Amino acid sequence: MRSHFRGWVARATVVGAAVLALTACGTGGPAGTGPSEGGDKKGGIFTTIDANRKITPGAPNNPYNPKGNAFTGYNVFQLAWNKANPKNINDFFPGLAASWEASEDLSKVTIKLQPNAKWSDGTPVTGKDVQTSFAIGYVAGTLTGINLGEIKVVDDSTVEFNQLPGEPSQTFMLNLITAAIVPDAQYGPQLPADIWDLIKKTDAGDKAATTKIAELTKKITAFNPPDDLSAGPFVLAGINPGEAILKKNEHFFAADKITPDQVKLRNYAGNNEIWNYLQSGQLDYGPFTAMPTNILQSIERAGNKQIVSTSYVQASLSFDQSVQPFDKVQTRQAFAHLLDRDAITKVGQPVGGSPSETTTGMVKAAGDVLITPETHDQLNPYGHDPAKAEQLLIEAGLTKGGDGKWLLADGKPFTVTMQAVTGFSDWIAASNVVCSELNDFGIACQNKVSPDFAVYQEEMAAGKYPFGWWLTGVGTIPNTSLGRIWGTPYGYNLVGSKVVYKARTEKESGNWLSGPQEITLPDGSKVKPGELVAGLRTLKSEQQAAPIQQIVLATNTAVPMIAIWDYQNVQFINEKRFTNFPDGKDPGLQKLSPGVWMSLGYIQAK
């Protein structure tokens, strides 16, 4: 069986431009006494926001439905949870898997389920549930890039995964062990008996099988289980337009660690609603959202405490190089010198942002680990220097008129549209500063806003925005992080186990940056960073250092995007009702939901 690859680079989930799939390294220390086996005080209602999923009354309790009322870490649980350690991508917190073991080349991974793992009806979680979950994930399109060759149920509590023959992917174990597990009792009957044969035929290009899988995809995503069968710490008990109510799952394998009797997940339309909940002291925990300083102060006055951790996500400005004069590297470098990152960050992300040091394709926290001192010394910091920007624009063939306005090589005015997204308050505020700086410099700039992020991504991919915002540096896995630039946006797509490059003009290329495949580095050597990024998938960590340096230098030299700020994960806790929250020293822990924290022994009633 071969797992079909549906897209190379996973998209980050956001609230406003608040990145919620945040990653970091280390195991750190918790607040208070740290993880415990369960406090003496039990009970109470824990109130929060699920920043990854809004509530949709009437939608199915189905994690594969785009609007489904299934909440990861609460009533949807994974085999394990990624610690986001840049030094070791296969470092996990336990979930439904109690242990895991991989061969030296990662071609085989064996997991052992928690001995007491049960569904909320008291029946055991078994290897059959795991096997069905991977078939469902394939059909629903959520398991991407796994390169899975075969899955064997060794016994009720043991499952073995084998990669396809060839060059093993170094993310094989990560992709497997962080998959959600659903009950075979509910989802198994939705699949035909020959599902694995269909999967094999689909990956072999069989059109009839592909059609059947497409029909199954619609069926699976629309499926509405009659009741919530949860293997997580909570079970969905009720839902209305304002909130979802989850009750404690007494059959959860770590139920003794779970303090609250209930969790309330408040609904929201955007950042303003989350601010209001925090300002009125309604939330025990509030996720990161973009906010201005005055809102932060109001939230703190309500008794909320900041928990700040590193976020491996970056806000950048991207260039469509098929549009003049962005096809000239001097133009892109000029913008990097012209735009004042400190001033833009101060307005756009004063609470949860730190101005990017330079453009490398990584946030500083990842670069500090993965970029060598020798490479760092070669990086252009692109300090704020309007005079240098003017020189570079002239080199790019532009001219400055007597009225101080810049003209393209054909004599037409140089105009720019700055594209942001409705609800992304940080991007919108920052866009005003960007346009102000460009207008002051003599480049006519206007702001436009897309109606939502889905439309924005679709139109960005269609090449409708020559200049706009993009999230880069996402995560601690180098090929994923650097692939935010040099992967699908640059035309490099992984099909099966091979990388295929498609030019902008080719069908379904995904290539909206439209830059040259080959980049000249400062020392005169030439590299193809898209191919180098794709190759990282099959290299062990110790083998990745050399290509990473080349990719970083290519990014810094070619400037396909300008890094503006690195996000900081600013979360809020209110300790009136509960205590012993993670304290931010472990950023990998901070990116997980409070439901996962509880399963690990955090959060007790006061």
Q: pLDDT per residue over 15-66, tens digit each? A: 333 332 222 222 233 334 466 555 557 899 999 999 888 999 899 999 999 8
Q: How far is CA 426 from each of CA 291, 384, 423, 448, rounded to the nearest angstrom?
A: 7, 21, 9, 14
The pLDDT of 462-480, averaged and rounded, is: 91
CB burial class (10 A; 0-12, 13-18, 19+) of residue 40?
Answer: exposed
Please report the pLDDT score of residue 284 as a whole number. Answer: 98
The pLDDT of 336-363, averaged and rounded, is: 96
Residues 376, 288: Cα–Cα separation, whole Å: 30
Please report the pLDDT score of residue 205 as a whole number. Answer: 84
Q: How confident is the model at residue 496 (pLDDT cuts 50, 70, 90)?
A: low
Indicate whether 395 pLDDT > 90: yes
Q: How confident is the model at residue 423 (pLDDT cuts 50, 70, 90)?
A: confident
- What range does the domain containing 541 cover? 311-567
Q: What CATH number is attached to the domain comprising 384?
A: 3.10.105.10
Q: How many residues does the chain have?
A: 606
Q: Is residue 480 part of a domain?
A: yes
Please report the pLDDT score of residue 168 as a whole number. Answer: 76
The pLDDT of 248-264, averaged and rounded, is: 97
Please report the pLDDT score of residue 425 as a whole number. Answer: 85
Indicate whether 14 pLDDT > 50: no
E-strand ranges in 206-334 read 234-240, 243-248, 262-266, 285-286, 305-319
User: Do 71 and 174 lie in a common domain?
Assistant: yes
Q: Is residue 319 part of a domain?
A: yes
Q: Is residue 247 part of a domain?
A: no
User: Do 195 and 332 lie in a common domain?
Assistant: no
For 165-187, how does the pLDDT look when each residue is reduced to its tens digit (9 = 90+)?
877 788 888 888 989 999 999 99
Please report the pLDDT score of residue 506 as a whole number. Answer: 87
For 224-247, how does the pLDDT look when each residue is reduced to its tens digit (9 = 90+)?
999 999 999 999 999 999 999 999
Q: Which of 18-22, 205-209, 337-341 has the lowest mean pLDDT?
A: 18-22
User: Do 586 and 494 lie in a common domain?
Assistant: no
Please report the pLDDT score of residue 37 as a whole number. Answer: 54
For 62-119, how does the pLDDT look when each residue is reduced to its tens digit (9 = 90+)?
999 989 999 999 999 999 999 988 778 889 999 999 999 999 888 899 999 999 999 9
- Specify whether the CB–CB gap between 514 and 463 falls below 8 A: yes
- Specify whether the CB–CB gap between 598 and 260 falls below 8 A: yes
User: Do 527 and 440 lie in a common domain?
Assistant: yes
Indicate whether 325 pLDDT > 90: yes
Q: Is residue 375 part of a domain?
A: yes
User: Do 453 and 590 lie in a common domain?
Assistant: no
The pLDDT of 518-544, averaged and rounded, is: 92
Tell whether the torsion through CA atoms of 446, 451, 455 and 456 is positive or negative: positive
Q: Please tell me the total count of domains within the chain.
A: 2
User: Do 557 and 582 lie in a common domain?
Assistant: no
Q: Is residue 284 part of a domain?
A: no
Q: Which residues of 563-597 are buried (b: 16+ CB within 10 A; e: fewer)?
A: bbbbbbbbbbbbeeebbbbbbbebbbbbbbbbbbb
Please report the pLDDT score of residue 298 as a whole number. Answer: 96
The pLDDT of 413-435, averaged and rounded, is: 93
Q: What CATH number is attached to the domain comprising 189?
A: 3.90.76.10
User: Do 526 and 411 lie in a common domain?
Assistant: yes
Mean pLDDT of the chain: 89
User: Do 563 and 587 lie in a common domain?
Assistant: no
Q: Is residue 252 part of a domain?
A: no
User: Do 224 and 340 lie in a common domain?
Assistant: no
For 129-165, how does the pLDDT look when each residue is reduced to its tens digit (9 = 90+)?
999 999 999 999 887 667 788 899 999 999 999 988 8
Residues 298, 295: Cα–Cα separation, whole Å: 5
Higher pLDDT: 569 or 146? It is 569
Higher pLDDT: 424 or 300? It is 300
Please report the pLDDT score of residue 42 as a whole number. Answer: 82
User: Do 376 and 457 lie in a common domain?
Assistant: yes
Cross-strand partners of 358: none
Please report the pLDDT score of residue 158 as a whole number. Answer: 97
User: Do 432 and 507 lie in a common domain?
Assistant: yes
